[in-house]
Structure 1
Amino acid sequence: MTTENQPGLRERKKQRTREAISDAAIALFIERGFHEVSVAQIAEAAEVSKRTLFAYFPTKEDLVVHRMADHETESARVVRARPARTTPLTALRDHFLDGLRRRDPITGLNDTPEIRELTQLIFRTPALIDRMQRFKAGGERALTEALRDTADAPDLIARMASVQVIAVQWALSMENFERLASGETADVRYPDAVRDAEAAFALLANGLATVS
């Protein structure tokens, strides 16, 4: 084996360990409840030491919310990568609609049992709700920077725009999640989810012309 390949193998092993720990934790949380499961029990189920567990996940909350970590700055990345002559809001709307088509869990429109159980776990656990609020705030900060850097938006406008955009995205996702939790399927909900998203982004467009 060459040294060139070793870093890749190490990273893949670390990723497998990380996933195994998180999978074990989430399975226990869903079965018993977030606060009823100790770190020691998670480590035992994942067949790692507590020290190893904390090396990957500094807090219990991290064991769950890391599944959404890539989404925290997603809106900012969409704005930065948008095609020329495409407004930030158009890029964000199109990306959200594409997420609905793909049944991306972050849109709330995914009714696979595993995703539904994980979402229910988050929204019935105050500690995880609090962590998601910090996640949301991080998304607002990242989007503010992206709007300021790529749309020449003044600081205040960029900040106000990002707060509104992220709030609308979360509201749309929560509406979809609640509809699915009440018994609708993702396929049945999809047309209304698209209409809701288009209406919400149209409302934003009327108030965010300064970042067009």
Structure 2
Amino acid sequence: MSVATQPLGRREREKQAKLARITAAASELFAKRGVDEVTTQQIADAADIGTGTLFLYAKTKGELLLLVQNARYADALTRGRKAAKAERTTLDALLALLAPIAECNRAQVDNGRTYLREMVFGDSGEPHHAEALSIVARTEEAIADILAERAGVAPGQAATLARVISAIQFLELAASVNTGSTVPDLLASIRAQVAAILPG
């Protein structure tokens, strides 16, 4: 016997509607102006709420960026996993997994770099930061799975290599020197570095 999902109460529906308005407002403003040029007051005004209410959903502008970007990064990971399955070699599968994440990060370069900075230095106790770290962990698991299945790497070593590969991508995307680099340039550099550390 299946249990029917209880309908949401009015208060919960209102909370979800506010969160949707905040997410849409922040997403639009960040995309148009970049995170550094947007104030929390502008986001609150665009979402038609007070700043006090805004801070109930995200305590800082960095958390707002994480809120906006997390769903995009999770979607990029899903697309990367699917693309990796179609590749024949370990290296090609790894790059197919990572390419949508790099593309997501570079959709707006400054926002992408700020997102990575928030992941490293943000408050890990905040829910949107925790979700960002969860996406990183799932990405590393996907990398480790490819290494284990395609290259026969033992699980412990695969997990370690996955962290190294994740760090390679992170540094390529976050480095100031790469601000003007195209996605193909970044992926070529990531590919060369990953190829250098793959076993066999």
TM-score w.r.t. length of structure 2:
0.57
In structure 2, the partner of 1:65 is: 66
How far did residue 20 of structure 1 move?
1.0
Give a deviation string over 1:118-165, Cα, whole Å, max 9, x none. 346x28x97675139967754453245443597386542232022011
Listed as ranges, the matches of 1:52-91 within 5 Å are: 52-54=53-55, 56-70=57-71, 71=73, 75=77, 78-79=80-81, 82-83=84-85, 86=88, 89-91=91-93
Distance 1:142 1:180 in 2: 26
Distance 1:53 1:75 in 2: 28
Q: Are 1:30 and 2:36 matched, yes or no?
A: yes
SS at the partner of 2:61? coil
Distance 2:74 2:122 in 1: 12
Distance of aligned partners of 1:92 and 1:118 in 2 relative to their CA distance in 1, 3 Å threshold: same
Distance of aligned partners of 1:167 and 1:58 in 2 relative to their CA distance in 1, 3 Å threshold: same
Preserved contact between residue 72 and residue 139 of structure 1 (Cα < 8 Å): yes
> Residue 92 of structure 1: which of 91, 94, 102 is its match?
94
Distance of aligned partners of 1:76 and 1:158 in 2 relative to their CA distance in 1, 3 Å threshold: farther
Q: Are 1:142 and 2:138 matched, yes or no?
A: yes
SS at the partner of 2:138? helix
Distance 1:88 1:40 in 2: 47
In structure 2, the partner of 1:203 is: 196
Please tell me the root mean square deviation across aligned C-alpha atoms, in Å: 4.7
How far did residue 43 of structure 1 move?
2.4
* Amino-acid identity (%): 19
Distance of aligned partners of 1:142 and 1:180 in 2 relative to their CA distance in 1, 3 Å threshold: closer
In structure 2, the partner of 1:4 is: none
> Residue 18 of structure 1: which of 14, 23, 39 is its match?
23
Bigger relative CO (Cα 8 Å, ≥ 6 apart): 1
Distance 2:76 2:96 in 1: 13
| Structure 2 counterpart of 1:166, one-letter code | S
In structure 2, the partner of 1:174 is: 174
How far did residue 199 of structure 1 move?
1.2
